[in-house]
Structure 1
Amino acid sequence: MSIEQTNTVPELDFNTPAQRRLRKARMMKDKMAAGGIAIGGISVIIAVVMIFFYLLYEVAPLFRSASIEPWGGQQEVSYAVPGQGRTLYLAVEEQAEIGFRATHSGEMIFFDTTSGRVLQREQLALPKGVDISSFALVSEASQTFAFGLSDGSVKVVKHNYKATYPNGQRVLNPELVYPLGEAPLAVAAGPVEHLTLNRDSDQWTLIALSGDQLSELTLSMRENFLTGETEIDTSRRDLPSFGIKPQKMLMTPDQRWLLASVPQGKVAVMSLGNTPEVTQLVEASKDRITSFELLLGGSSVIIGDARGQLSQWFFVRDETNQFQLTHIRDFEHGSSAITNLTTEQRRKGIVTLAADGTLNLYSSTANRQALSEPLFSGAADAIALAPRANALLVQHGDRLSFWHVDNEHPEISWSAYWEKVWYEGYEEPEYIWQSSASNNDFEPKYSLMPLAFGTLKAAFYAMLLATPLAIAGAIYTAYFMVPSMRRKVKPFIELMEALPTVILGFLAGLWLAPFMEANLAGIFTCLLVIPLAIVLFGFTWNNMPNKIRFLIPEGWDAALLIPVVMLATWIGLGLAGPIEDALFGGHLPTWLSNEAGIPYDQRNALVVGIAMGFAVIPTIFSITEDAIFAVPKHLSYGSLALGATAWQTLTRVILPTASPGIFSALMIGMGRAVGETMIVLMATGNTPIMDINIFEGMRTLAANIAVEMPESEVGSTHYRTLFLAAFVLFLFTFVVNTLAETIRQHLRKKYGSL
């Protein structure tokens, strides 16, 4: 064989059929992979955008303006007023199918709201020569009212509606009921000029004014358990005079206060205790009071005057622990006198008609004017709002008109969500979340501030614990730890991330919280003892003879800290007992509450910080460790070769280069902490309060959604407010992530040239 033949390199043919097929298959796989990745990325973006718009779709109706239109939506529904005489009372039943009208002659008429057709008519039975001299309404919701008679007696009536289903068709049957019997009740010695009454459980109280004399009649009902009959105990007494002729009287449902509007725009307040007395005379208006009604629940009084001013008042304790009728808020209104005012039966809503015929809808809690719409050219005679607040019946002259009202969420406003609101029963404006209660008189409190504050508080304490531990651990693992040890430590810590958060929440609520309460002093002692023990051990180990230090393989000496930490923890818990006895009276939580004035709740932010920090550590650690480990080795080698120490190399080369990844780790960890649900749900006490105290609990946006969404009515204000909370959480994470990405790109550009 010749030398030329030996050195000949065989030619490779890359254009064979097999190679072409291989390249074609590889190209196809590349395109499929690129297409799959693109589809996946676009799908994620589409999903996020769809979530955004769905949340917006659910939230948008909260801020929709109210509207009013003729019933049926086409032409005005108007007809002649059924019956004769001046209207004392106008009402609409719940289905808005039947209207009710009571006149000054005692005629009571049920009629069809859309046509005015009379369905039933009844005349109040009055003694001969006796006339109706006054009228009083218990409340719109109770459908109960009373006629004061010229002989000093009172008759109490209730209009009621029963549904029957003959042949499967619903039929409403109106009826009149006499809760205190058909016989008149003697209350005053002369004609009843002004009257008020109310009911508290099984006790009725009627107060009548005749001349200058105020008379009170109280009826206490109790059922005889043996006979089943209802027994009535009556008591009478005379009340002190207001000293001035009242225009209208109101009594609170608890029968504790008697309020009277008097001339010159003043309101007199009488305490109805064992010793009745006039306790307050407040100037409620600069002009004559034209409207004077109790809001739903009877805790607030709404006052309208001849200048068109509308205000809300309720009782607040003063510095001497006495209740004072206090001005709470004013509502936007025109300058025309408020001639008609009624309140909603299931919400804290107010409806007014001014002398110029302008209709106004308000929500007291939100301090919001939901609607201002001119309906007539002049004042109306009477108005009535349906129980569902979706229908309005107005008498204007000798005509009745029927209107459909669309006002689904009047109690919502920016101030109700994000500003302090003065709620009934509170001594000052506060941030409160309380979405439900046991009765219909409840004032919903939808402030999102306690929830947003609780979210940030939980995330803050979790990050306070997780950030230094996770980053310090990642630095040591990636930069100082030997590869053999790193291969064991990193997977173990990342495996912690797979632990279900419900397990962490369960352990935090049922084990960690009671343990920390019993060993709170030990926890703080360990926070001092453990770092001191680590530093002392490091100094001691560094000064030991080489023959001892070399017994441990290089890079594995960090494992010696495990028994050191365990021993320091045991010592710290052991020292806590004597320290607690000597300084804190034997129990630190009790000392904090009683002596330091710092409230202590067993499930608090400290428990959440530890439990949620434990959940966040693996996320921050893993991303940070990868970022540091990914720094090119030639950078660190070059720094060390130029004479820099390992610490200088770390702080001036490694960490700046890895800073974009470290920052991303912190932002992802914070996002995890902000969105965490189960841990804060089970370990915080779930109390929506605004307190930075680490020993108090909180409620977060995510936990609140998890707790209350299953019990909220679909489409209700509560339901949509929970979606708003989710929308706020979505926007918060979106803004934080966008800001984080901007900063990360800036850091990458700044340190990318290293």
Structure 2
Amino acid sequence: MSDLAPTTSERGKAARQRRMTTRTSVVIGEKLAGGIITVGGLMVIVAVMGIMVFLFRVVMPLMAGGELQGNTRYQLDTQQDVIWTNGDEFQTLGLAVAAEGRVITFHIPTGTEVSREQFDFRGAEVTAVAGTLQRDRVAFGFNDGVVRFATLGVETETTARRALPSGLTEIDTRDRMLDGRVYTEVGTGDFRTLFAQIELGDGQQISDLPIIAIDYRIGGTRERPTIAFATVDADNRVRVSQSRVQINMMTGEETVTTTTTDLPPLVGLAADAEVTDILLSGTGDRAIVSSSDGFVFRYDLRDMNAPSLAEVRRVADDGIAVTAMTFLSGEDTLIVGTEDGGLNAFFRLQTGTTETTDGRELIRARTHRAMPAAIVDVSPAQRQKEFVAIDAEGNVWVHHSTSDQVLFELARSGDVSTESSGMIFPRSNGVMLVSQGGEIEAWQYTQRHPEVTLGVLFSKVWYEGYMEPTYVWQSTAGTDLAEPKYSLVPLIFGTIKAASYAMLFAVPIALMAAIYTSEFVDQRVRGTVKPMMEMMESLPTVVLGFIAALVLAPLVEEWIGAVLLGFFALPTGLMIGAFVWQALPKSVALKYDGFPKFALMGVTILLTAWIAASLGASFERVLFYGDFKGWTTGRIGTGTPFMFLILLPLSYLAVSWGFRKLYGHHWRDLIGNMERSRAGMFDAGRWIAMLVGAMLLSYGFASFLTLIGYDPRGSFIDSYQQRNALVVGFIMAFAVTPNIYTLAEDALNSVPGHLRAASLACGATPWQTARWVVLPTAASGVFSAVMMGMGRAVGETMIVVMAAGNTPIMEWNIFSGLRTLSANIAIELPEAVKDGTNYRVLFLAALTLFIMTFIINTVAELIRQRFRKRAFNL
């Protein structure tokens, strides 16, 4: 049977043969298109999943714990206890000083002795020892009241292979030694040479009694170094001494001048209590003494001519002794270890209290995880906010103070001595412990991101110098001693703030425009307006950001009064124009409908903008005392004017709702029988009366709020910054509005025409039809349009980079700046070290933004499906 059927014309004659089956090319094209679409969709899903997997892969090391890489243990040849140790950053060469003055230089990985020297302590017994943070300068206090200073450092040189001396002794597979030097081959083929720098200075008589506690700091310049040290003798007398060294650059001769100041007595120290430790700040402005009855005594040394005991504070429970104490790097955090195993971090904060002489207090900011037994030693890291704590049972824990976590719980091998001290190597990648009898135990570990935990990222943290726990993002600082602050909360808040203010401006404009062009304007106008709106969407956001930063922000700052007035003048002008149009004869209104009417709207907008610009200064002078930026700071005026403006739209809605409930039916009956122009005039009078009533209601409520003490300043209104959320909202709304408008307008136009016809046939007005029939039917599409716009606003980068000020603060103040997740990534990622902490946290910010967008789109789809089911039967 043929697949061609004859086709007949009206005259019944065969005209042509029509194929009754689908062409093979069409079938192939359909299958090919279906396959391409399917593969393309799957590739999109795979790409999205690949992005998520990649982000997780980069982020996961942040949450990974540290890894122990090795542990060594050996015994040094000393006659008495080891009282001080030091080690280089490569964990190669160590130094140990014994109580008899023997100084042993040893190979840290194996314990091999490299060299040995002897300090001449002149028969005196060491009763106290302390050193600088770098541990290369040490002060010894003796039982005869003498203080001696020593250098115990490790120097590094580079030796070319051809200059390598002969006769080297192999220590292990990596290192060799000769004449007190250790040679390590590096990747370039040269050798790193390490050797000890050991020197003991002359003694200084500080007291006639034994020194029981000492601390030591070095400052000044290379030509004029200063040495400051604090001592406590057996009679609990506290002294601070400053030695200034003048070096003759011609002869190298050193002249040392020492000044000793007796500090006020330790008032409040119990008769049976003992001083356990003393600390001196590097700037020499304070000294802290701890006691066995749980107190610390803080001295204010800013004026050495009149030092004062500024504060006496209990830092441990009654009957609990302070057994160890140290500053962390930067000396803004004081770690106090107690007899019950407690470890607490204290900040010295300017609280303005009258209980201390300087208005500052030691505040317990962090309570770290307690150890099982009494703390016997606490030693800080040189470059991070880490410290190693040792208790009386031999437990060795490495803590990170900022993130408040225990990085490692090191297990000791062999016999455990209660008299132990430790140090963290300079690169914070290992710990060396020395026990009472000269036993050394060293651990090597890797902990790449100790400063990051989920708590640091998403909870409040009490940072140094802050009065309370807070959310802070500050990945870099002016000094390496500052704490890195990696809270993502300010960035998430900034993202939400920017999107919220952008949507606040964009959604009403976009939806009202979509309803207007869909339901009210002529198709010719719609055919012009919609393509123009779609062209707006193609504008590069970098151009918009540039305009916002360099044009709009200064303009808004200069004309802030006109801008605020424009918020009210523009809708008022359009309403007046609408009532004027309504008052025109019907023939005139119909004649000039379309483009003339649309042009009149444009003229009205320009006219109201000109009026706002002309009256802006007067508006600012009347409502904000002539200085809006000064008013926002709270220096002048009250909050009544701004609350009046904020409450005015709400008051108008309340008055309108009340009028509709009480007189709505009567009013419709009254004007329903009037001629069109007369009805328009009556309606305009009603609107003016309602506006006046709303103004009175708004002013009354604003005055009442002021009377009860409420002031919006300090909350969503505060000090004015040029690049702020208002500017971001303006320009981002300009970028987002076309997207929302296009999708919403398409959704409204997709509503079946018979629904409109049925509504109009029942006597509804076009506005009632749009409000009660078209909009609910298209709700799913309209909601999707809004959510698409929100997704665009959340992910926007260049506008907020250039116009938001990029300050990661958490306040809803519309006149302050912000920093978003996307802007933060764009700003900091180019400078971030690959695989570093900041690098991975930035990728975590990207993952957070990805998840936020995913949640927004998922919720939008669920709600859209719900609206779609409700409208399906229509």
TM superposition score normalised by structure 1? 0.92
After superposition, the Cα gap between the structure-2 partners of 1:169 and 1:5, relative to the gap in structure 1 and judged at 3 Å, is: closer
For residues 421 and 248 of structure 2, the distance between their equivalents in structure 1, rounded to whole angstroms, comes to: 42
For residues 410 and 593 of structure 2, the distance between their equivalents in structure 1, rounded to whole angstroms, comes to: 86
Residues 18-51 of structure 1, C-alpha deviation per residue, up to 9 Å, x if partnerless?
Answer: x88xx22211211111111111111111111111
Q: Does the 8 Å CA contact 1:82/1:111 hold for their aligned counterparts? A: no
For residues 104 and 748 of structure 1, the distance between their equivalents in structure 2, rounded to whole angstroms, comes to: 85
Matching residue within 365, 372, 391 for 1:328: 365
How is 1:679-694 mapped onto 2 (pairs within 5 angstroms)? 679-694=799-814
Q: Which residue of 2 aligns with 1:41?
A: 41
Matching residue within 365, 369, 374 for 1:337: 374
Letter in 2 for 1:137: G
Q: Does the 8 Å CA contact 1:188/1:215 hold for their aligned counterparts? A: no
Q: Which residue of 2 aligns with 1:706?
A: 826
1:184 aligns with 2:203: yes
For residues 327 and 487 of structure 1, the distance between their equivalents in structure 2, rounded to whole angstroms, comes to: 68
The Cα of 1:362 is off from its aligned counterpart by: 1.9
How is 1:99-110 mapped onto 2 (pairs within 5 angstroms)? 99-110=94-105
Q: Which residue of 2 aligns with 1:640?
A: 760
Q: Which residue of 2 aligns with 1:254?
A: 283
Q: Does the 8 Å CA contact 2:214/2:278 hold for their aligned counterparts? A: yes
Matching residue within 499, 523, 531 for 1:483: 523
1:240 aligns with 2:264: yes
Q: Which residue of 1 aligns with 2:326?
A: 293
Q: Which residue of 2 aligns with 1:315?
A: 348
Bigger drift between 227-236 and 667-676 goes to 227-236
Matching residue within 846, 854, 864 for 1:744: 864
The Cα of 1:674 is off from its aligned counterpart by: 0.8
The Cα of 1:583 is off from its aligned counterpart by: 3.9
After superposition, the Cα gap between the structure-2 partners of 1:358 and 1:628, relative to the gap in structure 1 and judged at 3 Å, is: same
Q: Which residue of 1 aligns with 2:59?
A: 59
1:216 aligns with 2:240: yes
Q: Which residue of 2 aligns with 1:392?
A: 431
Bigger drift between 183-192 and 164-173 goes to 183-192
Bigger drift between 228-237 and 160-169 goes to 228-237
Letter in 2 for 1:391: G
For residues 245 and 731 of structure 2, the distance between their equivalents in structure 1, rounded to whole angstroms, comes to: 56
After superposition, the Cα gap between the structure-2 partners of 1:185 and 1:500, relative to the gap in structure 1 and judged at 3 Å, is: farther
The Cα of 1:649 is off from its aligned counterpart by: 1.4
For residues 9 and 95 of structure 2, the distance between their equivalents in structure 1, rounded to whole angstroms, comes to: 120
Q: Does the 8 Å CA contact 1:157/1:177 hold for their aligned counterparts? A: yes
Secondary structure at the aligned position of 2:52 is classed as helix
Letter in 1 for 2:316: S
Letter in 1 for 2:422: I
Residues 78-122 of structure 1, C-alpha deviation per residue, up to 9 Å, x if partnerless?
Answer: 322254431112232111122221222222222111111122333
1:524 aligns with 2:554: no
Q: Does the 8 Å CA contact 1:269/1:279 hold for their aligned counterparts? A: yes
Matching residue within 312, 317, 337 for 1:304: 337
For residues 278 and 753 of structure 1, the distance between their equivalents in structure 2, rounded to whole angstroms, comes to: 83
Q: Does the 8 Å CA contact 2:139/2:147 hold for their aligned counterparts? A: no
Q: Does the 8 Å CA contact 1:135/1:145 hold for their aligned counterparts? A: yes
After superposition, the Cα gap between the structure-2 partners of 1:5 and 1:670, relative to the gap in structure 1 and judged at 3 Å, is: closer
1:197 aligns with 2:207: no
The Cα of 1:549 is off from its aligned counterpart by: 3.2
For residues 219 and 544 of structure 1, the distance between their equivalents in structure 2, rounded to whole angstroms, comes to: 95
For residues 247 and 568 of structure 2, the distance between their equivalents in structure 1, rounded to whole angstroms, comes to: 68
For residues 160 and 384 of structure 1, the distance between their equivalents in structure 2, rounded to whole angstroms, comes to: 15
Residues 113-139 of structure 1, C-alpha deviation per residue, up to 9 Å, x if partnerless?
Answer: 11111223332244x444433211221
Q: Which residue of 2 aligns with 1:74?
A: none
Q: Which residue of 1 aligns with 2:19?
A: 14
For residues 439 and 4 of structure 1, the distance between their equivalents in structure 2, rounded to whole angstroms, comes to: 93
Secondary structure at the aligned position of 2:778 is classed as helix
How is 1:551-562 mapped onto 2 (pairs within 5 angstroms)? 551-554=591-594, 556-562=596-602
After superposition, the Cα gap between the structure-2 partners of 1:691 and 1:232, relative to the gap in structure 1 and judged at 3 Å, is: farther
The Cα of 1:215 is off from its aligned counterpart by: 2.9
Q: Does the 8 Å CA contact 1:252/1:299 hold for their aligned counterparts? A: no
Q: Does the 8 Å CA contact 2:292/2:323 hold for their aligned counterparts? A: no
Q: Which residue of 1 aligns with 2:468?
A: 428
After superposition, the Cα gap between the structure-2 partners of 1:449 and 1:616, relative to the gap in structure 1 and judged at 3 Å, is: same
TM superposition score normalised by structure 2? 0.80
Secondary structure at the aligned position of 1:247 is classed as strand
Letter in 1 for 2:263: L
Letter in 2 for 1:132: V
The Cα of 1:254 is off from its aligned counterpart by: 2.1
Matching residue within 106, 109, 119 for 1:114: 109
Q: Does the 8 Å CA contact 1:296/1:441 hold for their aligned counterparts? A: yes
Q: Does the 8 Å CA contact 2:93/2:194 hold for their aligned counterparts? A: no
Q: Which residue of 2 aligns with 1:283?
A: 314
Q: Does the 8 Å CA contact 2:227/2:243 hold for their aligned counterparts? A: yes
1:407 aligns with 2:440: no
Which ranges of structure 2 fall in alignment gaps of 5 or more residues? 1-7, 162-188, 639-712
Bigger drift between 680-689 and 187-196 goes to 187-196
The Cα of 1:553 is off from its aligned counterpart by: 4.7
For residues 808 and 252 of structure 2, the distance between their equivalents in structure 1, rounded to whole angstroms, comes to: 46
For residues 655 and 222 of structure 1, the distance between their equivalents in structure 2, rounded to whole angstroms, comes to: 86
Q: Which residue of 2 aligns with 1:467?
A: 507
Letter in 1 for 2:262: D
Q: Does the 8 Å CA contact 2:518/2:748 hold for their aligned counterparts? A: yes
After superposition, the Cα gap between the structure-2 partners of 1:307 and 1:544, relative to the gap in structure 1 and judged at 3 Å, is: same
Letter in 1 for 2:384: R
The Cα of 1:374 is off from its aligned counterpart by: 3.5
For residues 129 and 357 of structure 1, the distance between their equivalents in structure 2, rounded to whole angstroms, comes to: 32
Secondary structure at the aligned position of 1:12 is classed as strand
Secondary structure at the aligned position of 2:293 is classed as coil
Letter in 1 for 2:458: W
Q: Does the 8 Å CA contact 1:148/1:155 hold for their aligned counterparts? A: no
Q: Which residue of 1 aligns with 2:26?
A: 26
Which ranges of structure 1 fall in alignment gaps of 5 or more residues? 72-76
After superposition, the Cα gap between the structure-2 partners of 1:80 and 1:159, relative to the gap in structure 1 and judged at 3 Å, is: same
Residues 250-277 of structure 1, C-alpha deviation per residue, up to 9 Å, x if partnerless?
Answer: 1122211111111112212122132212
After superposition, the Cα gap between the structure-2 partners of 1:194 and 1:365, relative to the gap in structure 1 and judged at 3 Å, is: same
RMSD: 2.5
Letter in 2 for 1:241: P
Q: Does the 8 Å CA contact 1:188/1:208 hold for their aligned counterparts? A: no
For residues 715 and 318 of structure 1, the distance between their equivalents in structure 2, rounded to whole angstroms, comes to: 40
